[in-house]
Amino acid sequence: MVSVVCVGLFAIFALLSFIHRARLMARKANADFNTRSLALLIEVFKEENGRYPKSLTQLASITNAEVKGSLNRILHDPWKNAYGFRLLTNGFVILVTEPDSWLCRGKSEERIYKPGDGLK
């Protein structure tokens, strides 16, 4: 009887661990996709205006409804990741910050793009 309970608890622990890893992989994949999409939108802004936007707010001022919809989807991430943007002398940086959990502080990751990298 005790061994059955132990095996059952082990199976539950293994399943929870698997689900947790799957969620982390899905969050990472979503953040990667959103970062590449945001980089593309920033490069399109540059192509149309001859310069990079100064902020994500300025990027949101694009009148194209399809672009606004894509940007809105990125900025209202279902995983609650926060996206930031900053200009560099030669390109830009996109910052992705995961939300804090009850156990630890959310991780931040910067991705540096040189001119034209977002179009690749």
Question: Residue 68's pLDDT is what?
Answer: 85
Q: What is the pLDDT of residue 96?
A: 95
In DSSP terms, 92 is beta-bridged to 87, 113
- β-partners of residue 86 are 93
Spell out the alpha helix ranges (H) of 1-120: 2-49, 56-60, 65-75
Tokens coding 50: 């001859």
pLDDT at 97: 94
Give pTM, 2 decimals.
Answer: 0.84
**What's the rounded Cα separation, in Å, for the pair 21 and 39?**
27
Q: Band of the pLDDT at 3, cuts 50, 70, 90?
A: confident
pLDDT of 104 reads 82
**Closest-CA residue to 111 (of 28, 26, 49, 23):** 28
The Cα-based distances of 113 to 34, 56, 86 in angstroms read 14, 15, 11
Break the chain into its structural domains and give their ranges.
Answer: 34-119
Q: Give per-residue pLDDT as tens, 59-77.
A: 888 767 888 888 999 999 9
Q: How many CA atoms lie within 13 A of 89 on its CB side?
A: 0
Determine the pLDDT at residue 90: 92
- Residue range 70-87: average pLDDT? 93
Read off the pLDDT of residues 8-63 as tens digits, 9 standing for 90 and up. 888 888 888 889 899 889 989 999 999 999 999 999 899 989 999 999 989 888 76
pLDDT at 63 (0 to 100): 64
